[in-house]
Amino acid sequence: MAKCPVCQGAVDEAAAKAQTGMTPGGAKEVDPTMGTRQFHDGTWYYFDSLDCRNKFTRNPDGYLQGSA
């Protein structure tokens, strides 16, 4: 089980990766209420909500300090 680097909450990786739809352009769509993820510095990070991902996007190094 992945952990949200922002709030340390548990994230269901399978749900975050599950494809829920397709955009008209063919891009994969994921249900953001099921968790989300972001590729940063060679690693996928999983988040329990878009809110947490937005915080991480603004200051990734601040949330990754001490966890490496």
Contact window for Zn ion (CB under 5 A) among 14-22, 26-34, 38-46, 49-57: 49-57
Distances (CA, A) of 34 to 22, 40, 47, 49: 16, 20, 9, 7
> Is residue 30 a contact partner of residue 53, using CB atoms and an 8 Å limit?
no
Minimum CB separation from Zn ion for residue 53, in Å? 8
Minimum CB separation from Zn ion for residue 26, in Å? 29
Looking at 16, 48, 55, 63, which residue binds Zn ion (CB under 5 A)? 48
Looking at 36, 52, 55, 56, which residue binds Zn ion (CB under 5 A)? 52
Q: Give the separation between CA 33 and CA 48, rounded to whole angstroms.
A: 8
Q: Decide: is 6 part of the binding site for Zn ion (CB under 5 A).
A: yes
Q: Decide: is 7 part of the binding site for Zn ion (CB under 5 A).
A: yes
> Is residue 23 a contact partner of residue 41, using CB atoms and an 8 Å limit?
no
